[in-house]
Amino acid sequence: MELLLILKNEALKLVKKTRAWLGPILIFILIMVAFPLTVELTSNNLSDAFYPVLFISILLVMMLATEDIFLEDFNDGTLEQMAIKHNSLSGVITIKIFVYWLLIGLPISLLGALYGFGITSSADLAIQLIPILMITTYIFLNVFSFGNALSLTKGSILGILITMPLVLPLLVVLGKVVIAINLGMNFLGFLFLLLGILSIIILVLPIIISFVIKAHLE
């Protein structure tokens, strides 16, 4: 019950901060709408360039979405109260990241799949993209939340510099997924690999983030 209450409070808090969740979604929409205008309007060119633009756009938008994920709570003392009241600060952090994914990552995943359908006119492709994008956005949110926790008192640039190398292997895997989809190959192996990466991140990163935040509070 306590975790559900925390989930509800975090969701209400984020919903009230309209700019925090609506801003990244609008930026993603603007990028994807502007994308066809920068490429010669042939179906092959659009299809070839779509995936790199999609994944890089998601990376940048998730980075933007997590810029202040802990900062406000850190400045007003909420994080300190959470650390004192709750035995598992990592659980609270997990819920907070999940709420961000629910209000930002999930809509962007669905919009990305919709754009995929618009570019390729393939319903099968759009359906295949949904789980890939859902997992990818969740991974990005966790990694960039870690970067935000590291840079709470030192500025966001430090967090970006530290976390960018962590997402490069994921971009390589996503590139392999794109190749598999384009060639009509079975990409389920890569999907399970992404799920495995996400599982490890969900188990490990919130714990690390909680230690980092506690270090800032001391």
Q: DSSP of the chain, one letter per residue?
A: -HHHHHHHHHHHHHHH-HHHHHHHHHHHHHHHHHGGGGS-S-HHHHHHHHHHHHHHHHHHHHHHHTTTTTHHHHHTTHHHHHHHH-S-HHHHHHHHHHHHIIIIIHHHHHHHHHHHHHHH--HHHHHHHHHHHHHHHHHHHHHHHHHHHHTTTT-HHHHHHHHHHHHHHHHHHHHHHHHHHHTT---HHHHHHHHHHHHHHHHHHHHHHHHHHHHHH-
Note the pLDDT of residue 170.
Answer: 87
Is pTM beyond 0.85 here? Answer: yes
- pLDDT tens over the chain, length 218 residues: 677 888 888 888 888 888 888 999 999 999 988 877 776 655 566 666 788 889 999 999 999 998 888 888 888 888 888 877 766 788 889 999 999 999 999 999 999 999 888 877 778 878 888 999 999 999 999 999 998 998 887 766 777 778 888 888 888 888 888 777 777 777 788 888 899 999 999 999 999 999 998 888 87
Domain boundaries, the chain: 2-217
